[in-house]
Structure 1
Amino acid sequence: MKTDFFNDILENKAAIVGPNEGETFTMNGLSLTFKVTSELSNDQLGVYEIILAPQTIGAKLHYHRFMDETFIVTKGVLTIQTGPNDEQLATPGTVAYIPRFTPHGFRNNTDEEVKVTLLFNPSQKREGFFRGLKETLGEQPIDPGKYLKLYNKYDSFPVDTSDMLPVRD
C-alpha cells in the first residue's frame, strides 16, 4: 500500500466527559475525579477535578521536573503556595500555571468546600500517582518512605522531606 504524504487522515477520537462522569475516589478530605486520563491523551494531558473539604491540604511544597501543572479554581478560595514564604489566594476564575521546577503546594484554609480543575502536561501517567496516594494516605501511620518513593516515581519532589506529608500538625 502506498503512503499518502499529502492528505490528513481524519478520525473521531474525541472524549466528552460530563459533569458527573469519570472515575472518582476520596482520601483525607479530598475527592478526585479523572476527566482526561493519560490513556486517553497518549500521555500528553491529564485533567482532574479535585474537591477539597474545609481545612484540607492538597499537597505540601514540591516541584516537578518533567511536567507543568495548572490549577483552575471553580469554587471557593484555594491557597496556593509558590515558595516557603509566598502564598496567593485563588478565587473562582483564577488560573495558576506552575511550570516545571517551580515549588508549589495547595490547600483549603477556609470553612467552605473548594473545587479545582487540575491539568498536568504531559500527564506522565498521573492516575497511578493518585491511586498510590490513596493507598499510602489510607495507612495509619503514614509511611514517609513509601510516600516519598511514590512521589519520586511520578515526578514529584518535596522541597522539605521532613515536612512533606499532606496532614495538618
Structure 2
Amino acid sequence: MKTYREGYFEDKLKDEATVIEPNGGERYEMGNISVAFKVTSEMSNDQLGVYEIALSPETIGAKLHYHRFMDETFIINEGTVTLEIGNKKHHAKPGTVAYVPRFTPHGFRNDTEETAKLTLVFNPAQKREGFFKGLFETLSEEPVQPDKFLKLYNKYDSLPVDISNMIPVEEKNDVI
C-alpha cells in the first residue's frame, strides 16, 4: 500500500483576502468619469480586475471596441447605461449584467440626465489599471492625440472597431 508523504491531500490555508468598502479603492477622476480600482491585477495575480465606474449625464465611457485576450462583464448599479454590443443597443438598468466575451465589439455610454454607476469586471485583468491611468492622461491633453490614444488601446488589448471614431469625445456636449 502506498503512503502519501508529500502532502498532496493537505491544504495549506491562507489569509490573503482583501475587502474593499463601498467608497474604497484607489480612485481616479477626470471630467465626467470616475474610476475606482476594487480588485486589481496585483491582488489577483492578473486573473481578475474589478473597477467601479461613474458616468456623469451625457458621457461616453468607450466607443465600439473589442478585446482579443480578455472577457469583460458589465454590472449596472445605478441609472441607465446604453450598452452597444455588436449591432444592438441595450438600455441597461440597475441589476443588468452583460457578459461580453473576447472578440465581441462593445461600447458604453450614459445617454441620460442622471449619473450612472456600473462595475466592470475583466478576466484576466491584463493590468487594466495601467490602461485607466493612461487613458485619463491621454484624454486630458489638448488636443487629444489619436496616435497616442491608439497606442494605449493596443497596449492594453483594446482594439477600436473604427479608428476614425475611437476617441470617446462628443464636441456637442464637451465630454471626454
Q: Same fold (TM over 0.5)?
A: yes
Whichever of the two has the greater Rg, that structure is: 2
Runs of 4+ in 1 over 3 A off after TM superposition: none
Preserved CA contact (<8 Å) 1:136 1:142: yes
Preserved CA contact (<8 Å) 1:80 1:106: yes
User: Equivalences for 1:57-76 in 2 at 5 Å?
Assistant: 57-76=60-79
Percent identity for Structure 1 against Structure 2: 63
C-alpha separation between the residues in 1 aligned to 2:126 and 2:31? 23
Preserved CA contact (<8 Å) 1:28 1:137: no
C-alpha separation between the residues in 1 aligned to 2:152 and 2:18? 29
> Match of 1:96?
98
> Match of 2:114?
112
Which ranges of structure 2 fall in alignment gaps of 5 or more residues? Answer: 172-176
C-alpha separation between the residues in 2 aligned to 1:11 and 1:151? 36
> Match of 2:27?
24
Following superposition, the deviation at residue 28 of structure 1 comes to 3.3
Following superposition, the deviation at residue 6 of structure 1 comes to 2.0
- Please give the per-residue CA displacement for 1:24-65, whole angstroms capped at 9, x wherever unaligned: 011231010000000000000000000000000000000000
C-alpha separation between the residues in 2 aligned to 1:122 and 1:76? 27
- Please give the per-residue CA displacement for 1:85-104, whole angstroms capped at 9, x wherever unaligned: 41110000000100000000
**Size of the alignment, in residue pairs?**
167
C-alpha separation between the residues in 1 aligned to 2:158 and 2:149? 11
Q: 1:4 aligns with which of 3, 7, 12?
A: 7
> Match of 2:125?
123
Letter in 1 for 2:40: T
Which ranges of structure 1 fall in alignment gaps of 5 or more residues? Answer: none
C-alpha separation between the residues in 1 aligned to 2:120 and 2:100? 11
Letter in 2 for 1:33: A
Check if 1:147 corresponds to 2:145: no
